Amino acid sequence: MDYNFIEIEKRWRDYWRSNQTFKTFDDITRPKYYILDMFPYPSGQGLHVGHPLGYIASDIITRYKRLRGFNVLHPMGYDSFGLPAEQYAIQTGQHPAITTSKNIDTYRRQLDLIGFSFDWDREVRTSDPEFYKWTQWIFIKLFDSWYNREEDKAESVDTLIEKFQDSGSGNVDAAASDHEVFSAEEWNGWSETEQRNMLLNYRLAYLSETSVNWCPELGTVLANEEVKDGVSERGDYPVERKLMKQWSLRVTAYADRLLSGLDEIDWTTALKEMQRNWIGRSEGATVNFTIDGFDETLEVFTTRPDTIFGATFMVLAPEHEMVAVITTNSRKAEVDEYVKLAMKRSERDRMMDVKSVSGVFTGAYALHPFSGDNIPIWISDYVLIGYGTGAIMAVPSGDQRDWNFARHFELPIVSIVSDTDISEGANENKDGVMINSDFLNGMKISEAISTIIKHVEEDGVGTAKINYKFRDAVFSRQRYWGEPFPVYYKEGTPYMLDESELPLKLPDVDKYLPTEKGEPPLARAKNWTTKDGYALETNTMPGWAGSSWYYLRYMDVLNEDEFVSEKALQYWQNIDLYLGGAEHATGHLLYVRFWTKFLYDLGYIPFEEPAKKLVNQGMILGEGGEKMSKSKGNVINPDDLITQYGADTLRMYEMFLGPLDQPKPWDTKGIEGVYKFLRKFWRLYHNEGNTFTISEDVANEAELRALNKVIKKVQDDIENLSFNTSVSALMICVNDLSSLKCNKRAILSDLVVVLSPFAPHIAEELWSKLGNDSSISYTSYPEFDEQYLTSDTYEYPISFNGKTRFKLSLPLDLSKDEIEKEVLANEQSIKWLEGKDPKKVIVVERRIVNIVL
RNA sequence: GCCGAAGUGGCGGAAUUGGUAGACGCGCACGACUCAAAAUCGUGUUCUUUCGGGAGUGAGGGUUCGAUUCCCUCCUUCGGCACCA
């Protein structure tokens, strides 16, 4: 075999390892570039060809940037806590740490085979106590912080306690679960437990009884983004709503900054839109309706307060706390039954069945704050407890869902906008002027909105309000294989461990299952208490805890005193380019932004966004165009391809398949083309006998043109992440040089550098054969010479009425008139002119000549 | 239903600011080398044609000397969200 990739690739893998070629230092004399791949969860299946796609792209950029003189941070690690290892542990009794470490070894072996230039000395594993020590540390910081809305940043709870001590809660503007007004005297009179319980309303990590997504099959709660179509993302098990005491993170405090920050970063519009939709900001107002015969009021949120005179009934979510209070005796049986039914229905059923209208009248009436009319209060599951206040004022003329409900139960529909037909459906557009609306009559809708808000606020019945769709993130999991919380309980009140006691390591348990009483697996651990005998938290953190800050740890992975040093942060800053799958749009990528902003607020890091630029690589599909999966049996393993063709071929072929960010089907046959290219490349440097043969002759014009073209094309393409076209450009260049029979050092020495980011093993081999002693990785990318990219003639396409008919080579220094004259005088033009006079001749220099007849 | 991305040969795809549509590769066909095969090399390959041409970038319209590229309407596929008041 002429090009012996097996031998070559092994040689350079060994060389890179023994010479620590890719070890990265904090060299402040050179500009930095931080490029990161989303780290993988090390599953038992190992890698398929889809996984390394992003890693190959990032490795090409890394190697290119090194050639450009950048000090590149390009690390890799493992998101090594997670459900599959735990499920396996439940089945086999094997400790998840053992399975995980075995899987990591497989991943590492596979990654090494592909020739990535990671600095493995900086590897992180989220399940390593030396790593999760700092995850726990950040959790403590979250617990010890509150969000000061006046300053628009997180602060230590000490400042909040001071405010409470000095002047109570009245003047505090905080992100809170439940903001009660109390005086300094009241605060100072409370016991420590009472004070701490009150503070939980403000802490950024807090314990509360919340309605959660409970998955009985997995035995744990799930975050909203871990639930898809009412079933768990992992395993497709049904999910139900359940009230449980859970740790949550107050991510909603950052809603506005998470939104506005999107304008500052170079992420795809699709991804930004997903985050915007997920956060779901909407402007409107809350309005309080008094309930006939009760002291309590019903608060509703509406984005269309202008439609208030069209409100002919109210609807509460079945779970709403007022339902039990206001229901009249005569309606009680029916309401109870409806509530019971609604609670029993799974999320999934509820979603499946959005069309049908159902609901029950409570027997109670609210008073319209302006008209004073009695309006009936109904309950229905089309109103969600989790959004707004869990109650709405129903305006059937303006909202289709309310209209459907009104029609079904024969409730009145009052038109409130002029010239609208509401006989067949609600009018949801915002044209026209208000009617039947008392003091709003005659106003346009935008004017009516601001007017009514003013009224509502003056009358003290409501206030302008911004509402968000997304909720605080539930942060507890009833699982074993996750970070233990650094939390213990004194009489039911949570306390944080001292930092000196971190990491709080995962204890051993006899089984990885919940206890008979239904407690999480950690409750099985012996002596799961503090030194003083206080019970430790038995929940663990969710999978996304470690990934919310891991990118910081790479900068300073061995630091035992801090999660990352200021010095490392000052040099490396945030990620210049982050590559990963779009499936993390509303999970990881929202939380990592949240933690980054939080750490910024506390002054621990000097930037507010984790990644300046982010690219989603498209999925590689099976040969038939469907997702690759074990169950479909269409998984392509990179190891086999590397054995058959070599890693350099695999790398180039994955790039050649198509644009990085688009999904594309795998076609194993196509890899031959890239393999042939590398062999042809090899032969440029070798004679028929496969002996390295290089000429010292001076390069000619044609050879220099081919070389300079590829130098420019590849550098432009890498900057634009257009790797498929740079592979083409390299193929064209090699085809040209082969026809020119070029084996001159003057050309081939630069060419191998251009190829090296893509196919590093063969490049190193030829580089060393060219007589270089050190790795090609740290040489310089060649500069192209403009003079070989331009020419003094241009082959003009000559078109008639926009259709190209022939080509004519003309000197570039001709004027437009001269070009026109030349073209019209040409004998082929005469034929196409058919004796007619051209109406117009368009000459675009260096582009085209178009003759209009 | 709403939001986002994308539709180009038999296939993956190229055409970076409106200027030669189909680069590069796969596949296919034919040829060279060979006893033969593999490998390699060469030639051809959008469709159609009466060999002059004609048509052609999801469909239909528009702007323009000129549109894969810009505008409008629609269709399809993929991804996300989904009773969000």
Report cis status (omega within 30 of 0) of the bond before A503: yes
Q: From the alpha carbon of A847, which nucleotide's C1' atom is closest?
A: B19
Distance A333 CA to B15 C1' (A): 71
Which nucleotide has the shortest C1'-to-CA distance from A285?
B85
Determine the topology of domain A793-852 in CATH.
Ubiquitin-like (UB roll) (3.10.20)
Query: Taking the CB of residue A102, how many other CB atoms lie within 10 A of it?
Result: 13
Q: What is the per-residue pLDDT for A206? A: 96
Give the C-alpha separation, A515 to A92, whole Å.
18
Confidence of residue A352 (pLDDT cuts 50, 70, 90): low
In the complex, which nucleotide's C1' lies nearest to the CA atom of residue A675? B25
Which nucleotide is nearest to A389 if distance is taken from CA to C1'?
Answer: B85
Q: Count the neighbouring beta carbons within 10 Å of the beta carbon of residue A260.
A: 9
What single-letter DSSP state applies at residue A292? Answer: T
Structure tokens that stand for A427 in this block: 């009018």
Name the band, by pLDDT with cuts 50, 70 and 90, for residue A346: low
Residue with tokens 């040489």: A779
CATH, domain A281-468, list 3.40.50.2020, 3.30.420.40, 3.30.70.100, 3.90.740.10: 3.90.740.10
The count of other CB atoms within 10 Å of the CB of residue A372 is 7
Q: Which nucleotide is nearest to A386 (CA to C1')?
A: B84
Between the alpha carbon of residue A419 and those of residues A171, A429, A452, the distances in Å are 47, 12, 21
Query: Which of the given ranges, A378-382, A485-489, A841-845, has the highest pLDDT on average?
Result: A485-489
Spatial distance from the CA of A716 to the C1' of B37 (Å): 44
Query: Within A173-254, where are the H helices?
Result: 184-189, 192-199
Q: What is the pLDDT of residues A4-17, one digit of tens each?
A: 999 999 999 999 99
- Burial label for A665, CB within 10 Å (0-12, 13-18, 19+), is middle
Query: What is the predicted ipTM?
Result: 0.94
Contact at 8 Å (CB) between A641 and A36? Answer: no
Angle between helices A760-769 and A745-755 (to 10 degrees): 150
pLDDT on residue A838 = 80
Reference A793, options A846, A843, A829, A841; nearest CA is A846
Closest residue to B42 (CA, C1′):
A739
Residue A729, CA: closest nucleotide via C1'?
A: B24
Which positions in strand B are less than 7 Å from the protein's CB atoms? 3-6, 11-16, 19-21, 23-27, 40-42, 54, 65-67, 78-85
Q: In angstroms, how far is B76 C1' from A428 CA? A: 29
DSSP states along A38-87: PPPP--TT---TTTHHHHHHHHHHHHHHHHTT-EEE----B----HHHHH
Residue A354 has a pLDDT of: 66
pLDDT in tens, A140-175: 999 999 999 999 999 999 999 999 999 999 989 999
Rounded Cα distance between A308 and A316, Å, is: 17
Spanning CA of A806 to C1' of B20, the rounded length in angstroms is 9
- Chain centroid to CA A338: how far? 39
Helices A647-656 and A52-67: angle between axes, nearest 10 degrees: 100
**Percent of all residues in chain A with a pLDDT value above 90, rounded to a whole number:** 67
Residue A617 contacts residue A655 (beta carbons within 8 Å): no
Burial A678-711 (b: 16+ CB within 10 A, else e): beebbbbbbeeeeeeebeeeebeeebbbbbbbbb
Task: Tell me the CA–C1' distance in angstroms for A331 and B62.
Answer: 63
- Report CA dihedral (A650, A656, A662, A664) to the nearest 10 degrees: -70
CA distances from A334 to A454, A558, A762 (A): 39, 64, 77
Distance separating alpha carbons of residues A342 and A598, to the nearest angstrom: 38
Q: Give the mean pLDDT of A453-479.
A: 91
- Predicted confidence band of residue A224 (pLDDT cuts 50, 70, 90): confident
pLDDT digits (tens, 9 = 90+) for A23-79: 999 999 999 999 999 999 998 888 888 889 999 999 999 999 999 999 999 999 999
| Burial (0-12, 13-18, 19+ Cβ within 10 Å), A421 | exposed
Nucleotide nearest to A353 (CA to C1'): B83
pLDDT tens track for A565-588: 999 999 999 999 999 988 888 899
A484, A540 Cβ separation under 8 angstroms = yes
- Of the candidates A719, A555, A423, the one whose C-alpha atom is nearest the C-alpha of residue A73 is A555
Query: How large is the average pLDDT for residues A430-444?
Result: 89
Question: Average of pLDDT values for A243-253?
Answer: 91
H-only helix segments in A436-549: 445-458, 544-547
What Å value separates CA A115 and C1' B46?
39
Please report where in the chains the tokens 């299946």 appear, as a residue.
A45
Q: How far is the CA of A360 from the C1' of B2 (A)?
A: 29
A394: left (phi over 0), alpha (psi -120 to 50) or beta: beta
Q: Which residue has the tokens 């192209």?
A: A784
CA of residue A624 to C1' of nucleotide B5, angstroms = 21
Of the listed ranges A25-29, A295-299, A462-466, A835-839, the one predicted with least confidence = A835-839
Q: A148 with A174: CB under 8 angstroms? A: yes
- pLDDT at site A825: 82
Supply the pLDDT for residue A70.
97
CA/C1' separation A626–B77 (Å) = 13
Per-residue pLDDT, A156? 97
Does position A286 have pLDDT exceeding 70, yes or no? yes
Flag whether pLDDT at A429 surpasses 90: no
Q: Which pLDDT score, from 0 to 100, does residue A842 have?
A: 86
Average pLDDT of the residues of chain A: 91
- Listed by start position, the domains of chain A span 5-126+544-621, 139-255+269-276+473-536, 281-468, 666-788, 793-852
pLDDT digits 0-9 by tens, A659-685: 999 888 888 889 999 999 999 999 999
How many percent of chain A have pLDDT more than 70? 98
Alpha helices in A488-587 (DSSP H): 544-547, 550-553, 566-572
CATH architecture of A666-788: Orthogonal Bundle (1.10)
Does the pLDDT at position A1 exceed 60?
Answer: no
Superfamily assignment of A5-126+544-621 in CATH? HUPs (3.40.50.620)
Q: CB A90: neighbour CB atoms within 10 A? A: 15
SS3 content of chain A, % helix, strand, coil (to 5): 40, 20, 40
Is the model more confident about A229 or about A295?
A: A295
Tell me the average pLDDT across A416-442.
Answer: 86
| Residue pointed to by tokens 């399940």 | A127
pLDDT recorded at residue A347: 62
